[in-house]
Structure 1
């Protein structure tokens, strides 16, 4: 499909974030598959499942909008290299609810007199708008501010915003005072009684707090968790660790009769989100802990039958890879990676854990990025 049928921003050159948007989708998938197979070519016995296909547009459940311009004419989008803004409120990647909400939020900036932050002069208050839509069409909106100066005005006008956006469930202020390229700060101020957004995935309500991470492509996240659940069901381990568990996507999907699952995540907010889901679902044999995944494994004294790892782009690193290599009791590892280069490096550090099955999931269509799920078996 020609690019001019997909995105006016791309065709006009105003935004080229989707670097592969000009390619037919079949070519995108084929190139990603070629890339990941090349990076994992040291493992010739690896069986590849067909790649999981994504919608090209309307899939992105989170908008991270830099706010520039003026109070009267705010710009929601990205920054050019010169520091000026490009308005992307009609970006076709976003889910329909986000696309409908962004113009309303732009009006709210004017109504609440939220001065956009100017990077060059370090003046202004509103830095970003972060908007997430759940599969049920509910919204979480976060205002990333330099200070709490605008809090009273935002609270005053919030009822009117909720009238305009009846699907708004969670609203918060995030305070990020640092004059540097950091998306959000540590302090969060909830403005609504509701504290979590329900991300309904495969019949499971995963709760998302403002500072919790969730995959930006809900359909691909659901496929990822279903695949992992099916692979683990074949093996039927008695004990499972989910390291880097986030809001519990893997851990809570893998819970089952007679199986004990432990999830470990450094973000206390994410663990609190996962604990809410665990409690609602009545999963008594799931334990969720806030802490460093590597430190937990090295200090545990025992090893489970199966370990799931879903690390950030840097991978699991030499310490955890070394521990997994030496933990003979762990017969299988399910590795979910958003960076096949670090995955290949980690696999090289675990030669007794042989990758036997893998699948590419097109979590980030129109870019060179993807997720790959790999099953490792001890030999």
Structure 2
């Protein structure tokens, strides 16, 4: 087996997040973006002594799991919702099995097994999202073209491509309000023949369309992201967007100027063209003010399921000081505040910290304190000692130098909320090596039709 050779084979299983396993002549090849049971053609793009990776070229035969037709026009070229042809209950079973295998392996490696050698913890399965479609409250659409020199497009990157952008004119994981806004913006700039920003030459005007829509209030924030290289009249676009017959209500339209070379949605300058630069969402009876770049769970109703599961694991925190590390806009902290002595949130994004403080004030909570900074550094400055710790880190998990500081507090219990089970499994290994055990775990599917899933774990100290 050599690099550049083309093979055909069946995907036997898919490991989290999307690593399909194919056996060829006794060797296992990892091929991403497939579904168990598919027969695929692939090319070897990496080959080392004990490891081979392939790039998917074509699906030759469907999987038995694919029991329905695609729901959008750009499947499978768009890599976002690669499981949409699988019934939702089968998606849940697959994700549940993937996470359980990762946790089982982590526990077995740490020696947390019963007399029969089985992982010794309670795995409580997976809970699905209340909505399978139209669940995303935030979407970053990119400007570009579907092929080199093609007409202007606005949507999502083609699977495996850094440059090609597919127009998401019927994306099913966002509310139709977002689709109508996208089509209006695309048509406006197509007629103006406005150029999109080229990542190589760093020239052009149009970069992104960032849309946020609250599930409970229906409030919509429209954010047009461009460079400062050219100027276009935007008043007509404003009037066209405001005239759309939407189910929700547009509360703000912003023009965000971003001259960064990096392909990220950020602001060098934000201009409010209409209304305000925030909107409101409600989670578990609490009201949250959200600005363009505030972190907030992208599935609002799914977040209620996730935070309810976490709250059940946390249990009684009366008279306790709780640390909410990687606290974002303070959602978890405020959910716990009513049943805790004090909650201290730590978050590196200053804008999120300001939002958390404002949200706590708005919800009448005076026992929440939020600190801006890297958890690794802030823990050295906090004089308070926690009775309970909630961990909700970014995808890469907890910084390896921060984990010993967290362990040193010696709290009886912690709850770890993770959006990347592989990072979670790694961090659990360290925690179990240092006197903790995994009591129970569950999954919550916040990202229907995609490869991602959230996991909640209750951890207890056993070695004092």
Q: Which residue of 2 aligns with 1:277?
A: 359
Q: Which residue of 1 aligns with 2:254?
A: 172
Q: Which residue of 2 aligns with 1:202?
A: 284
Q: Which residue of 2 aligns with 1:8?
A: 73
Deviates more, 1:91-100 or 1:307-316: 91-100
Equivalent position to 2:390, from 308, 313, 324: 308
Q: Residues 112 and 157 of structure 1 are in contact (CA less than 8 Å); yes or no, is this contact kept in structure 2?
A: no
Offset of residue 148 of structure 1 = 6.9
Q: Residues 346 and 374 of structure 2 are in contact (CA less than 8 Å); yes or no, is this contact kept in structure 1?
A: yes
3-state SS of paired residue (2:69)? helix
Q: Which residue of 1 aligns with 2:120?
A: 45
Offset of residue 127 of structure 1 = 0.7
Offset of residue 160 of structure 1 = 4.6
Deviates more, 1:253-262 or 1:171-180: 171-180
Equivalent position to 2:156, from 78, 81, 86: 78
Offset of residue 155 of structure 1 = 5.2
Q: Which residue of 2 aligns with 1:103?
A: 183
Q: Residues 254 and 277 of structure 2 are in contact (CA less than 8 Å); yes or no, is this contact kept in structure 1?
A: no
Offset of residue 225 of structure 1 = 1.5
Q: Which has the higher strand share?
A: 2
Q: Which residue of 2 aligns with 1:163?
A: 243
Offset of residue 158 of structure 1 = 2.6
Q: Residues 341 and 161 of structure 1: is their aligned pair in 2 closer, same or farther, counting only changes over 3 Å?
A: same
Unaligned 5+ segments in structure 2 are: 1-65, 113-118
Q: Which residue of 2 aligns with 1:142?
A: 223
Q: Which residue of 1 aligns with 2:37?
A: none
Q: Which residue of 2 aligns with 1:343?
A: 424
Q: Residues 196 and 273 of structure 1 are in contact (CA less than 8 Å); yes or no, is this contact kept in structure 2?
A: no
Q: Residues 88 and 360 of structure 1: is their aligned pair in 2 closer, same or farther, counting only changes over 3 Å?
A: same
The answer on 1:333 being equivalent to 2:414 is: yes
3-state SS of paired residue (1:51)? strand
Task: Give the distance between the partners of 1:113 and 1:293, measured in 2 at CA.
Answer: 46
Offset of residue 234 of structure 1 = 3.2
Unaligned 5+ segments in structure 1 are: none
Deviates more, 1:58-67 or 1:298-307: 298-307
3-state SS of paired residue (1:23)? coil
Q: Which residue of 1 aligns with 2:324?
A: 242
Offset of residue 24 of structure 1 = 2.7
The answer on 1:118 being equivalent to 2:233 is: no
3-state SS of paired residue (1:312)? coil
Larger relative contact order, structure 1 or 2 (CA cutoff 8 Å, min sep 6): 1
Deviates more, 1:199-208 or 1:99-108: 99-108
Offset of residue 367 of structure 1 = 2.2
Q: Residues 341 and 258 of structure 1: is their aligned pair in 2 closer, same or farther, counting only changes over 3 Å?
A: closer
Offset of residue 64 of structure 1 = 1.4
Q: Residues 295 and 112 of structure 1: is their aligned pair in 2 closer, same or farther, counting only changes over 3 Å?
A: farther
Q: Which residue of 2 aligns with 1:321?
A: 403
> Larger Cα Rg: Structure 1 or Structure 2?
2
Q: Which residue of 1 aligns with 2:24?
A: none
3-state SS of paired residue (2:327)? coil
3-state SS of paired residue (1:58)? coil
The answer on 1:92 being equivalent to 2:155 is: no
3-state SS of paired residue (1:97)? helix
Task: Give the distance between the partners of 2:95 and 2:178, measured in 1 at CA.
Answer: 28
The answer on 1:366 being equivalent to 2:449 is: yes
Q: Which residue of 2 aligns with 1:60?
A: 136
3-state SS of paired residue (1:367)? coil
Q: Residues 97 and 137 of structure 1 are in contact (CA less than 8 Å); yes or no, is this contact kept in structure 2?
A: no
Task: Give the distance between the partners of 1:208 and 1:176, measured in 2 at CA.
Answer: 20
Task: Give the distance between the partners of 1:186 and 1:89, measured in 2 at CA.
Answer: 29
Task: Give the distance between the partners of 2:449 and 2:237, measured in 1 at CA.
Answer: 37
